[in-house]
């Protein structure tokens, strides 16, 4: 009998229950929100460790949504398994980010063309240099086109994927901002690296939830319920590929 690589310790499902395109918020409650408010005939395919994954239909096309958890180790596990064990072709991160650029306002959308990082995630590949994790151009181009049609306030550029939420060096973001980095989050670099290694496609779409420039911030409830533009953008992107 063939030794199947699934279910895994983290995803109790099979490839036929998961769509080729998966939306990945960090928060399990946000994956549940997408499933209940946007998808039809949504069915739960995973609840291991409370990381909820659903597959349903949006505009007649099968789409899955599953949480990634917080940070690059967590994103690294789930995206690796989806790409390599469950035959997923595209992962679209839908998350929150803190603005580094003064040009960004609360609820603006950032399309992560690249993901700078202070993580050592890429050291596993034993490269003689530094790898630049980037998004799938096909997904990025289509996301920008859809954003234009929707009339969204968005920017395309670099994200900073940080391993630290409470950094000892509090002015670190200022240094990245000098090089044009738009916003900081905690998952995109690991997602992009896993996608590159698996020859798959990935894009991080982030909504600005707080600003490291002005100190403004959305509440946890506002983050959960007011990111619908980002969710609609990601779902429309999923149905276009």
**Residues catalogued as catalytic:** 210
What tokens does 39 get? 């998808």
Identify the burial level of 48 via C-beta atoms within 10 angstroms of its C-beta, where 0-12 means exposed, 13-18 middle and 19 or more buried: middle
- Look at residues 239, 222, 224 and name the one whose alpha carbon lies nearest to residue 39: 239
- Look at residues 71, 65, 86, 63 and name the one whose alpha carbon lies nearest to residue 10: 86
Report yes or no: 137 and 90 within 8 Å, Cβ to Cβ.
Answer: no
d(CA 117, CA 200) in angstroms, rounded, equals 20
Task: For residue 123, report the phi and psi dihedrals to the nearest 5 degrees.
Answer: -65, -20
Q: What is the dihedral of CA 218, 104, 235, 198, to 10 degrees?
A: -110
d(CA 58, CA 39) in angstroms, rounded, equals 5
- Look at residues 66, 25, 26 and name the one whose alpha carbon lies nearest to residue 42: 66
CA atoms within 13 A on the CB side of 236: 17
d(CA 134, CA 112) in angstroms, rounded, equals 8
């Amino acid at each position: 009998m063939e030794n199947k690589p699934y279910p895994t310790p983290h995803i109790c499902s099979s490839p036929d229950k998961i769509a080729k395109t998966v939306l990945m918020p960090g928060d399990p409650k946000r994956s549940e929100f997408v499933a209940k408010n946007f998808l039809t005939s949504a069915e739960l395919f995973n609840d291991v460790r409370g990381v909820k994954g659903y597959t349903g239909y949006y505009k007649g096309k099968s789409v899955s949504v599953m949480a990634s958890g917080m940070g690059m180790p967590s994103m690294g596990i789930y995206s690796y398994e989806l790409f390599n064990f469950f035959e997923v072709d595209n992962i679209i991160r839908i998350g929150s980010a803190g603005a580094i650029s003064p040009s960004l306002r609360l609820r603006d959308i950032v399309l992560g063309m690249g993901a700078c990082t202070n993580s050592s995630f890429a050291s596993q590949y034993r490269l003689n240099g530094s790898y630049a994790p980037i998004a799938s151009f096909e997904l990025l181009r289509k996301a920008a086109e859809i954003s234009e049609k929707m009339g969204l306030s968005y920017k395309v550029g670099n994200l900073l994927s940080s391993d630290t939420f409470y950094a000892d060096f509090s002015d670190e973001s200022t240094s990245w901002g000098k090089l044009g980095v738009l916003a900081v989050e905690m998952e995109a670099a690991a997602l992009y690296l896993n996608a590159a290694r698996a020859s798959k496609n990935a894009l991080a779409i982030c909504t600005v939830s707080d600003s490291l420039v002005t100190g403004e911030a959305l509440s946890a409830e506002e983050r959960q319920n007011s990111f619908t533009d980002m969710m609609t953008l990601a779902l429309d992107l999923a149905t276009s590929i």
